[in-house]
Amino acid sequence: MAKHLIAVLPGDGIGPEVIAQATRLLELYRDERDLPLDLWHLDLGADRYLKDGTTYPKEIADRIAKEARAVLLGALGDPRVPGLEHAKDILFGMRFGLDLYANIRPVKALADRLVPLKERTAKDVNLVVFRENTEGIYVGMGGQFKRGTPDEIAINEDVNTRKGVERLIRAGFEHAKRHGNKTVHMADKSNAMRHAHELWYRVFFEVANEYPGIAAKHVYVDALCLYLVQDPSQFEVIVTCNLFGDIITDLGAAFQGGLGMAGSANVHASDPARVAMFEPVHGSAPPLAGKDLANPIASFLTVGMMLTHLGWPEEEARIERACTKAIIDKQCTKDVGGALGTRACGDFLISEIERSF
């Protein structure tokens, strides 16, 4: 069987610490379960940028696009690089360059005690956000005029194409269809953003017509935040633009026990054979870096999503069970109520998974 080439980029801050544990998991699958995984370790990130100016070389980008099946990315962002030059080149180089238009972010609580909402339990927190990943305000179009003067003007353009909006919305409905969900919500701000989000509103109901068994529900994003806190159980699939998806999934992570618990996938959803990129939702958390404090569970759940993408969904379920046990037995890091370090939590998860084979 041909091997799946997996590019591994630990990145900055806590990235290398959590990806070291996630890499042990991939090695376990490769060495003990004979999964055909070929790990390709890449030295890219802030350290490399500060050493020789390298961000995301074309030959690496080309090989990832042509040969890799998946990328595992830690996080990017380092206070020594305030302009985030390397982070933009790498992260956007992958998301935009590989046209990974759907950022899929499950919001699922693994244990009741992690849910901070009054009278809500883990069963109330199980939804998935489809965030548009290649357009919106993140494309970097715009500019500054009269910078540093009292008359300064700063503009960021919000780019929304019919193609981009339609394919993201369709990815959300396809997911709902595959998983037997009854509703898809679309969150926008079409009352204020009359041009861009009127497009989202119109396209949402057009695409919804193709899925008669699924209720299509529109919600303004500000109201969505209110409803999420009041009762997250009313949501199954949420589709939204790049900026809103980024924000509401941090809110969602709070329902899961924090950013150390949230994994994600970046995919070209209409063609699962194409390379996809997997990353925990969290950033590089500089204050935690190098202290063995970072929670590795988000990275384990992220590897689970990767294994489903590669055709082994039962392994994602196995990894999730081990993560749930780590939380319930308090064999976890401080942010989720345990007393273990990153490495020791990784040890527990690896031994649980190994034991369950």
Residues that bind ligand NAD (CB under 6 A): 14, 18, 75-77, 91, 258-260, 279, 282-286, 288, 294-295, 298, 335
Closer by beta carbon to ligand NAD, 18 or else 37 = 18
Q: CB of 184: closest distance to ligand NAD in angstroms?
A: 25
Q: How far apart are CA 236 and CA 178, in angstroms?
A: 12
Closer by beta carbon to ligand NAD, 77 or else 252 = 77
- Span between the terminal Cα atoms of the chain, in Å: 21
Closer by beta carbon to ligand NAD, 95 or else 120 = 95
Would you say 25 and 319 are in contact if contact means Cβ atoms under 8 Å apart? yes
Q: What is the DSSP letter of 27?
A: H
Q: CB of 314: closest distance to ligand NAD in angstroms?
A: 26
Q: CB of 293: closest distance to ligand NAD in angstroms?
A: 7
Closer by beta carbon to ligand NAD, 160 or else 284 = 284
Cβ burial of 90 (10 Å; 0-12, 13-18, 19+) is buried
Q: What is the DSSP letter of 90?
A: I
Q: CB of 201: closest distance to ligand NAD in angstroms?
A: 28
Q: CB of 338: closest distance to ligand NAD in angstroms?
A: 11
Q: CB of 254: closest distance to ligand NAD in angstroms?
A: 10
Please state whether beta strands 102-108 and 126-132 pair in parallel, antiparallel, or not at all (unpaired): antiparallel
Q: What is the DSSP letter of 214?
A: S
Q: How far apart are CA 328 and CA 342, in angstroms?
A: 17
Would you say 325 and 47 are in contact if contact means Cβ atoms under 8 Å apart? no
Q: CB of 288: closest distance to ligand NAD in angstroms?
A: 5
Q: How far apart are CA 284 and CA 75, in angstroms?
A: 5
Closer by beta carbon to ligand NAD, 196 or else 259 = 259
Q: CB of 299: closest distance to ligand NAD in angstroms?
A: 8
Crossing angle of helices 342-355 and 297-309, rounded to 10°: 40
Q: Closest Cα partner for 300 from 22, 7, 26, 42?
A: 22
Q: How far apart are CA 354 and CA 53, in angstroms?
A: 41
Closer by beta carbon to ligand NAD, 186 or else 346 = 346
Closer by beta carbon to ligand NAD, 11 or else 190 = 11
Residue type, 26: L
Q: Closest Cα partner for 264 from 232, 231, 309?
A: 309
Q: CB of 286: closest distance to ligand NAD in angstroms?
A: 6
Residue with tokens 């369950």: 356
Closer by beta carbon to ligand NAD, 93 or else 258 = 258
Would you say 179 and 108 are in contact if contact means Cβ atoms under 8 Å apart? no
Four-CA torsion 170, 174, 179, 184, nearest 10 degrees: 20
Q: How far apart are CA 275 and CA 289, in angstroms?
A: 29
Closer by beta carbon to ligand NAD, 84 or else 215 = 84
